[in-house]
DNA sequence: GCATATTTGTCCGTATGTATA
DNA sequence: CTATACATACGGACAAATATG
């Protein structure tokens, strides 16, 4: 039953419609939908009914479809012709593809460490420190957020906004995959030591060894996701 | 005078409107516009008038706007608030950003050479061979096309469709930049020997040296574009 | 297999606000 | 200030595809 939209998340979305009108309606709607998808409130595979959603959000179909297009470009929704739009369900092939891309981009960015701006380097250290602080107080959601920020900071070492955007898309897809396998993301705890090792080695000028640690992380994370998706997907 | 659209390319676009309706109208229109922009028929900086274009192509403004959105996401068009849609004019900052991304992605992909699929390796060799053949018969446009294909083939070594798509976007932007500086692209001739060297070194297992040649290429190409844009832009 | 209701695809006209000449 | 052109959003019309009984 994918058409019934009278869940909690829909009511929550509709209630928040009193904000300042900063950007366009479509973008604001897309922001809400994106948050709902990434938080897992709108489950992967669920269909988004145009009329029901449009009525609930009090926007026209055209505007809603515009929001759908934005999120489809971000690979968070999929469009099935004459059937509608659905929250994406990344499969094993997607994970393999995503991690192939991450290996190239993040390792390549790490190798730019010697040429990176100081602010970019500090952002990497800060992300690890944030993760450690969250672990101290048992905030596993915070640890997950810090981990995402860590990898965005690594990418930013390359100094390319286009690369940063692509990485944001890839990390969002990974989050979707977590929701497919129903993983509460707290396993990020296991990766904190690796992140620490990467920063330590970078600060010691051991770029090569840092890259090795990063590759170890990718192997583990990819394996975790692939086996998880094979089991639950 | 940017609003008068009665050029050759518009007539050409309108005439071809008898195709099979495979994809959506917006996508077909986007395909035509994309081709016009990348071939240089629609010059960078030119405004695309909604009404004139819509009337000429016999499509509604909504549909045209949808096509605009697609191309805006590909960074080929830009929306200027309350002014309209224009063909993008990449500036020096864009070039620097793009080449930072290319260095990371393509070098990272080249380093995957030992693990790459045979077909992907062969595609790299084929692209160089195609470039040489085109040079033989003085087909400089063909040399340029082969060069683009070469870099797409390098990227494909990583085996990630997402990376391939991002590279296609980056290379399209580079083509736009060529048109900004009015370069006929025949200078690609100078880079053919570098491409040859890269393949030779890869086949000899000298991945590290191949990467060095690639970096040399990036330095030269980026410098060429930056100085060209500073002069003509 | 068939008929019906629902949903989506495509396109249109319009209305309002805003920026530019 | 007026006229123009555009961005944005809305609601509706109709065809086509799909789902449902």
Is pTM beyond 0.85 here? Answer: yes
Distance CA B128, CA B133 (A): 9
Instruction: Encode chain B (233 residues) as per-residue pLDDT tens digits.
Output: 333 333 445 445 444 433 323 356 677 778 888 888 888 888 888 888 777 777 777 777 777 777 787 788 888 888 876 677 888 989 999 999 999 999 999 999 999 999 999 999 999 999 999 999 999 998 888 898 999 999 999 999 999 999 999 999 999 999 999 888 876 666 777 889 999 999 999 999 999 999 999 999 999 999 999 999 998 76
Cα(A163)–Cα(B88) distance, integer angstroms: 19
> How many other CB atoms sit within 10 Å of the CB of residue B43?
16
Distance from CA of B174 to the nearest CA of A (A): 13
Say if the Cβ atoms of B166 and A161 lie within 8 Å.
no
B140 & B48 share domain? no
**Average pLDDT, stretch A69-95?**
93
Smallest CA-to-CA distance from A154 within A168, A134, A140 is with: A168
From chain A, the residues in CB contact with B109 under 8 A are: 104
A109 plus A221 within the same structural domain: yes
C-alpha distances in Å from residue A38, one per residue of A34, A174, B23, B217:
6, 10, 30, 40
B118 touches strand C (CB under 7 A): no
CATH of the domain at A53: 1.10.10.10
DSSP single-letter state for residue B152 = H
Domain final residue, candidates B87, B118, B145: B87
The mean pLDDT value for A92-107 works out to 97
CB within 8 A of A114, min separation 6: which ones?
A: A205, A207
Which of chain B's residues have a Cβ under 8 Å away from the Cβ of A109? Answer: 104
- Give the model's pLDDT for residue B22: 36
CB pairs under 8 A between A and B: 68
Total number of domains constituting chain A: 2
Residue A6 confidence (pLDDT) above 60: no
Residues A98 and A167 in one domain: yes
Find and list the nucleotides of strand C having atoms within 7 Å of a protein beta carbon: 7-13, 17-20
Final residue of a domain: which of A55, A87, A119? A87
Q: Are B102 and B190 in a shared domain?
A: yes
Judgement on whether residues B70 and B105 belong to the same structural domain of the protein: no
* Alpha-carbon distance values, B140 to A77, A202, B116, B225 (Å): 42, 45, 30, 18
pLDDT for A10:
54
Based on the domain organization, do B65 and B158 belong to the same domain? Answer: no
Same domain, A176 and A61: no
| Contact flag B104-A105 (C-beta cutoff 8 Å) | yes
If asked whether residues B49 and B131 sit together in one domain, one would say no
Closest nucleotide (C1' vs CA) to B3 is D5
Beta bridge partners of A79: A85
Distance, Å, B183 CA → D5 C1': 34
Measuring CA to CA, how many Å separate B41 from each of A49, B33, B170, B180, B181?
41, 9, 20, 12, 14
Closest Cα of chain B to A99: distance in Å? Answer: 8
CA distances from B60 to B11, B26, B66 (A): 17, 10, 10
| DSSP-assigned states of every residue in chain A | --S---SHHHHHHHHT------S-HHHHHHHHHHHHHHTTSS-TT-EE-HHHHHHHHT--HHHHHHHHHHHHHTTSEEEETTTEEEE----HHHHHHHHHHHHHHHHHHHTTGGGS-HHHHHHHHHHHHHHHHHHHTT-HHHHHHHHHHHHHHHHHTT--HHHHHHHHHHHHHHHHHHHHTT--SGGGGGGHHHHHHHHHHHHTT-HHHHHHHHHHHHHHHHHHHHHHHHHH-
**Local structure of residue B115 (DSSP, 8 states):** G
Q: Which residues are within 8 A (CB) of A185 and not within 5 positions of it... i.e. 6 or more apart? A: A140, A141, A144, A175, A178
Backbone region of residue A185 per phi and psi (left: phi > 0; alpha: psi in -120 to 50; beta: other values): left
**Nearest 10 degrees: Cα torsion A77, B66, A55, A73:** 10
Q: What is the pLDDT of residue B231?
A: 87
Examine the domain organization and report whether A218 and A178 are in the same domain: yes
Gap from A45 CA to C6 C1', Å: 20
Same domain for B74 and B134, yes or no, is no
Q: Say how far apart CA B193 and CA B135 lie, in whole Å.
A: 11
CB nearest to A159's CB, from B100, B166, B170: B100
Exposure of B196 by Cβ count < 10 A (0-12 exposed, 13-18 middle, 19+ buried)? middle
Task: Compute and round to an integer the Cα radius of gyration of chain B.
Answer: 19
From the C1' of C17, which residue's alpha carbon is nearest?
B82
- Cβ A163–B62 below 8 Å, yes or no? no
Q: Is any atom of nucleic acid chain D found less than 7 Å from the CB of residue A2?
A: no
CA A206 – CA A111 distance, rounded (Å): 10
Per-residue b/e over A3-19, b at no fewer than 16 CB within 10 Å? eebeeebbeebeeeeee
> Do residue A115 and residue A206 come from a single domain?
yes
pLDDT of residue B4: 36
Q: Which domain holds residue A66?
A: 3-87
CB atoms within 10 A of CB A125: 15
Euclidean distance between CA atoms B21 and B101, whole angstroms: 36
Residue-level pLDDT at A12: 56
Nearest CA in chain B to A173: B162
**Strand D atom within 7 Å of A73 CB:** no
CATH number at residue B205: 1.20.120.530
Coil, helix or strand for B22?
Answer: coil
- One domain, residues A102 and A215: yes
Tell me the average pLDDT across A213-233.
Answer: 92
| B92 CA: distance to closest CA in chain A (Å) | 13
Q: Which of A22, A108, A114, A170 to mutate to test the interface with B (most CBs of B within 10 A)?
A: A108
Are A103 and B105 within 8 A, CB to CB?
A: no
Judging contacts by C-beta atoms under 8 Å, the chain B residues touching residue A103 are 108, 112, 158
**Crossing angle between the packed helical segments A25-38 and A61-73, to the nearest 10 degrees:** 50
Q: Contact B172/B74 with Cβ under 8 angstroms?
A: yes
Given A31, A63, A87, the domain boundary residue is A87
Radius of gyration of chain A measured on its C-alpha atoms: 19
**Cα maximum dimension of chain A:** 57
Residues 6+ apart with CB under 8 A from B101: A158, A160, A162, A163, B166, B170
Q: What is the pLDDT of residue B84?
A: 76
């Amino acid at each position: 039953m994918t058409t019934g939209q009278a869940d909690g998340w829909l009511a929550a979305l509709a209630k928040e419609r009193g904000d300042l009108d900063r950007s366009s309606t479509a973008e604001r709607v897309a922001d809400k939908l994106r948050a709902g998808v990434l938080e897992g409130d709108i489950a992967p595979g669920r269909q988004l009914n145009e009329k029901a959603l449009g009525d609930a959000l009090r926007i026209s179909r055209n505007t809603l479809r515009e929001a759908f297009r934005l999120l489809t470009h971000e690979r968070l929704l999929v469009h099935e012709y004459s059937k509608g739009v659905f929250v994406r369900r990344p499969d094993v092939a997607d994970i393999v593809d995503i991690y192939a891309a991450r290996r190239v981009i993040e390792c390549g960015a790490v190798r730019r460490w010697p040429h990176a701006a100081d602010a970019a380097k500090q952002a990497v250290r800060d992300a690890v420190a944030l993760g450690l602080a969250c672990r101290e107080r048992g905030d596993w959601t915070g640890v997950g957020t810090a981990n995402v920020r860590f990898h965005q900071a690594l990418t930013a070492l390359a100094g390319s906004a286009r690369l940063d955007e692509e990485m944001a898309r890839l990390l969002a897809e990974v989050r979707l995959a977590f929701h497919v396998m129903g993983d509460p993301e707290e396993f990020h705890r296991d990766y904190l030591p690796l992140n620490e090792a990467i920063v330590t080695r970078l600060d010691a000028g051991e770029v090569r060894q840092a890259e090795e640690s990063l590759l170890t992380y990718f192997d583990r994370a990819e394996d975790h996701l692939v086996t998880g998706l094979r089991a639950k997907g």
